[in-house]
Amino acid sequence: MNKNGILFLIGLCLGIFWGSCKGGSAFKVQDLNGKWAIVSVMDEPVTLEYRPFLEFSTAEKRVHGNVGCNTLSAGFEPDPKDMTAFQLISPITTMMACIHFDTETKIVHAINHITHVKKGETPNHAKLVDKEGNTLLLLERIT
């Protein structure tokens, strides 16, 4: 095999390797399965004593959680054409009077505008974003 053939094979192998790494790094809706703490809302840290959380069941296409002192429940439907996109279906919350109502209001507002999931800065983080790609909720994996 001549020098050009060897260089071609090396380039092909590197291209396949880098391509597989790029494809593998996308965070998919199915990767949300489990329990996640809400770390920040629209880039503002959540500083409540009891950290709000969301728990996704991708098998059941359901999400439930706690947004402070109220609970949240919704269905969700992944987009079959885009593995990072999903739509929340009929999100509902309880309506108890809460001390930190402003934080809860921000979380509920954010939840109603989420369209996609993106990989966070570490493997234990995920970003829930709107259609423009703005991070609405930063999540940290609990389980």
Q: Can you give the pLDDT at residue 2?
A: 57
pLDDT per position as a tens digit, 43-101: 999 988 888 999 999 999 999 999 988 999 999 999 999 999 999 999 999 999 888 78
Spell out the domain ranges in the chain: 26-141
- Average pLDDT taken over every residue of the chain: 86
pLDDT per position as a tens digit, 17-51: 334 343 446 899 999 999 999 999 999 999 888 88
For residue 12, pLDDT beyond 70: no
Q: Any idea what DSSP says for residue 111?
A: H
List the CATH code of the domain at 26-141: 2.40.128.270
Pairing of strands 62-66, 71-79: antiparallel
For residue 131, the one-letter residue type is: K
Banded pLDDT at 137 (limits 50, 70, 90):
very high
DSSP H or E run through 91 = strand 82-93
Please list the alpha-helical segments (H only) found in 2-143: 3-24, 101-111
For residue 133, pLDDT beyond 90: yes
Place of tokens 């593995």: 83
